[in-house]
Amino acid sequence: MKDIDHARVQSDLKEDQRMILDLGPKEEETRCKATAVKLADQRNRLAAALARMVPVSHASPGGKTEALCREVIAKELYADLEKIQAEGMVTVENDAEENKTRIALANPSKAEAALAPKSHQYR
């Protein structure tokens, strides 16, 4: 299977410069529309995974860009949720039958202490 594994990294930069990853489509990838669409999706997912922030100027309702944005947001939320669960701030119960997740505050004082340094941002 032809993947993004052939992406080129510009390696002739000085050590203190950021690396540049070339994810643009190659000529042979654009000949077949199905391949181009599949590889575009892979490139978008890789770029989103590598990025700290993903600016999106437009996402059609129900489109692929909207679906990717929802996926990225969900992964971030669940990563944060796992972290605060491991810290004992919340408990998480998954109800597979109803496809719901119940999150309960387990340690209010710990949660308050974690939010205190950021409280000035929300005033």
DSSP 121: G
* 78, 90 Cβ separation under 8 angstroms: no
| 122 pLDDT more than 60 | no
| 75 pLDDT more than 50 | yes
Q: Which of 19-23, 72-76, 87-91, 99-103 is most confident?
A: 87-91
Of 109, 101, 112, 38, residue with least CA distance to 74: 101
Kindly report the pTM of this predicted structure: 0.49
Per-residue pLDDT tens digits for 10-37 = 555 555 555 566 666 666 666 777 777 8
The residue behind tokens 């050590």 is 15
